[in-house]
Amino acid sequence: MTHTIQARNVSEALYLAKQGIEATGVQVQTRNGPVLEFPTPVVTTYTHSRERALFYPERDANPFFHLMEAFWMLAGRNDVKWINQFNGRINTYSDDGVSFHGAYGYRWRNWFGKDQLKLAMHRLTTYPNDRRTVVSMWDANHDLVTTNDGKDYPCNTQIFFQVRDETLNMTVVNRSNDMIWGAYGANAVHMSVLLEYMAQMLGLQVGHYVQFSNNLHAYVEVLDKLQGMQPQYSNYELVEPSTVPYEPPPLVDQPSTFDQELAQFMQDGTASHDYNNKYLAQTAVPMYQAWQQWKGKDREGALFTAMCIEDKAWRKACTEWFERRL
């Protein structure tokens, strides 16, 4: 048996999962405190995974950290220093303070001595009906160990890609999923960005994103903070005039230069390079600049820069995150 969640976007998925776990969850004591967990695995299907920003004030998700971590992953990084600037506590999950053992992007692009994303693109191009395009994040030689000493082992373990009707669909398998911080927070951003990247690099439409969570849980203390949360299924309509549905700008405009330009952005996120891929120039750069201004105590400048973000969903998420702190 499985618990299924059919959702348009992450906002709807989070609310439905909250309802489900409060109705059927079983309390379990863990080494990090009590959790409520679903009694069976959970399958979540997103039909519009590009609607990936969260607006719930009770959740207070950090949009800068979420999107920048997705870029950090696409770039194949595992270093603490770059991503730590957006989340000052993430370094506590590193064993040595320098790198992360289970960093997804590094596993995608470097860990096994090959770039799995490029290999996956090759298979999907060469064999359009392929059912063997699997990207692995779990390495039994290093992760299936006899101790619990390590701080960072991959929670998401495999990704399956499949092309049907010129559309790329993706299924992600997860061994242990924190419902609030992971599944319907960071994971929904990271994995939907990966799906969009792969689809647009291949010239395909973005299809369904399915998340299989073998153990989906929420820490009781964190779940309690969401008690006043009201459903916001249609809040993406608020980022456009009501007669115009929200349509995010494409992540990839020029597949031939995206990886190179992403590396350039990672090297200097505040510089306005002449990017061929407009998402980097018009969404990623102003988000990075606004964050740096905020950290530098330039509150007015940060809010002004955030209002220049082209992707209206991230613009809304970033400005509201700032305003809650002002």
What is the DSSP track for 112-162? Answer: TSS-HHHHHHHHHHH-TT-S--EEE---HHHHS-S-S--S---SEEEEEEE
Would you say residue 294 lies in a domain?
Answer: yes
Residues 280 and 203 in one domain: no
Query: Of 173, 203, 233, which closes a domain?
Result: 233
> Which pLDDT tens digit goes with each residue over 119-139?
999 999 999 999 999 999 999
Q: Is residue 182 part of a domain?
A: yes
Provide the CB-side half-sphere exposure for 275 (13 A, CA): 28
Q: Are residues 135 and 228 in the same domain?
A: yes
24 and 173 belong to one structural domain: yes
pLDDT category at 278 given cuts 50, 70, 90 is very high
Mean pLDDT, to the nearest integer, of 175-194? 98
Whether residues 46 and 73 fall in one domain: yes
Give the pLDDT band of residue 13 (cuts 50, 70, 90).
very high
257 and 151 in a common domain: no
Mean pLDDT of the chain, nearest integer: 95
The pLDDT of residue 233 = 65
Which pLDDT tens digit goes with each residue over 18-31?
A: 999 999 999 999 98
pLDDT at 271 over 80: no
Summarize the confidence of residues 35-45 as an average pLDDT: 98
How many separate domains does the chain show?
2
Could you say which of 54, 61, 135, 155 is catalytic? 155
Please check whether residues 59 and 122 belong to one and the same domain.
yes
Please tell me the pTM assigned to this model.
Answer: 0.97
Q: What is the mean pLDDT of residues 132-147?
A: 95
Which pLDDT score is estimated for 235?
66
What's the distance, CA 284 to chain centroid? Answer: 15
For position 148, what pLDDT does the model report?
78
Query: How many other C-beta atoms can be found within 10 angstroms of the C-beta atom of residue 2?
Result: 12
For residues 106, 163, 172, 267, the Cα torsion angle rounded to the nearest 10 degrees is: 30
Distance CA 107, CA 72 (A): 12
Percent of the chain with pLDDT over 70: 97
Q: Can you name the residues that pair with 28 across neighbouring β-strands?
A: 35
Task: Mark whether 155 is an active-site residue.
Answer: yes
Smallest Cα–Cα separation from 158: which of 211, 113, 106, 119? 211
> Are β-strands 42-46 and 3-7 bridged in parallel, bridged antiparallel, or unpaired?
parallel
Cα separation, 43 vs 171, whole angstroms: 10
The range of the structural domain enclosing residue 54 comes to 3-233
**Does residue 74 share a domain with residue 208?**
yes
| Segment 199-233, tens digit of pLDDT | 999 999 999 999 999 999 999 999 999 998 988 76
Tell me: pLDDT of 162 over 80.
yes
